Chains A and B, each alone.
Chain A
Amino acid sequence: DIQMTQSPSTLSASVGDRVTITCRASQSFSSWLAWYQQKPGKAPKLLIYKASTLESGVPSRFSGSGSGGDFTLTISSLQPDDFATYFCHQYNTYPWTFGQGTKVEIK
């Protein structure tokens, strides 16, 4: 299985901050990576797919980049609605696997 390691596990930030979350894969692959946002008690919401393509309706402050083994989710200016947990997801190789999550907290 491809192991996906996210860092950091927890991130404390303020409204307006630029936030970067990293996802590192145990094996290199192309761009078949997605990012999701999850709020407590809710289902995940797709933000980014194919490493850098913004899902329809997702604010442009979210962006994704990377290929090979290292991927990044960036929030350019953190908004109150963005405090949540974020997961990366590789769908390059079966079984599909997820990162352990990064919780973005209010500083």
Chain B
Amino acid sequence: QVQLQESGPGLVKPSETLSLTCTVSGGSISSYYWTWIRQPPGKGLEYIGYIYYSGSTNYNPSLKSRVTISVDTSKNQFSLKLSSVTAADTAVYYCARVSGTVTFNGMGVWGQGTTVTVSS
């Protein structure tokens, strides 16, 4: 059974870069799309972007200038970098696997989420 685990600093200073890694266990990162979703405190869900195991990406235009998602198939991991963070980037960050490859079927596997606070 595939499991995802986010890791990274829980506190990031304003203007710095947020860096998170999602480790995939119980299955291969190959042949799937992998996403980052975030949820500010008490608010709804926001799509950040996804990466295919081959490296192709799609980013939310609202974050595109600051976001980089990468994949390391040898480590079964994918990562998120968000630059020039502000307090508005404070959120729970989730990694998730997109179900389906020919057609998408929602996001069926999620990590537990990691809280990132932007503060000096």
* A-B contact number at CB 8 A: 58
Contact count band on A: 20 to 34
B113 touches A43 (CB 8 A): yes
A32 touches B104 (CB 8 A): yes
For the residues of A in contact with B, the DSSP-based class is loop
B105 touches A50 (CB 8 A): yes
A46 touches B44 (CB 8 A): no
A101 — which chain B residues lie within 8 A by C-beta?
44
A98 touches B108 (CB 8 A): no
Q: Which of A57-107 contact B (CB under 8 A)?
A: 87, 89, 91, 94-101
Which among B45, B99, B103, B111 has the greatest number of chain A C-beta atoms within 10 A? B45
Q: In the complex, which of the residues B44, B99, B110 contacts A99, with contact meaning CB atoms closer than 8 Å?
A: B44
Contact count band on B: 20 to 34
Chain B's closest residue to A53 (CB) is: B105
Q: In the complex, which of the residues A45, A48, A53, A87 contacts B45, with contact meaning CB atoms closer than 8 Å?
A: A87
A98 touching B44 in the complex, CB below 8 Å, given contacts A43-B94, A43-B112, A46-B99: yes
Q: Does residue B27 face the partner (Cβ distance < 8 Å to A)?
A: no
Q: Which of A34-54 contact B (CB under 8 A)?
A: 34, 36, 42-46, 48-50, 53
A98 touches B107 (CB 8 A): no
B113 — which chain A residues lie within 8 A by C-beta?
42-43
Q: Complex Cα distance A48/B108, Å?
A: 10
A87 touches B44 (CB 8 A): yes
A49 touches B105 (CB 8 A): yes
Shortest Cβ distance from residue A58 to the other chain B in the assembled complex, whole angstroms: 10
B104 touches A91 (CB 8 A): yes
Q: Complex Cα distance A95/B106, Å?
A: 14
Which of B8-16, B57-65, B68-76, B77-85 lines the interface with chain A?
B57-65
A-B contact pairs, 7 of them (CB 8 A): A34-B105, A42-B112, A48-B106, A49-B106, A95-B60, A95-B61, A98-B45
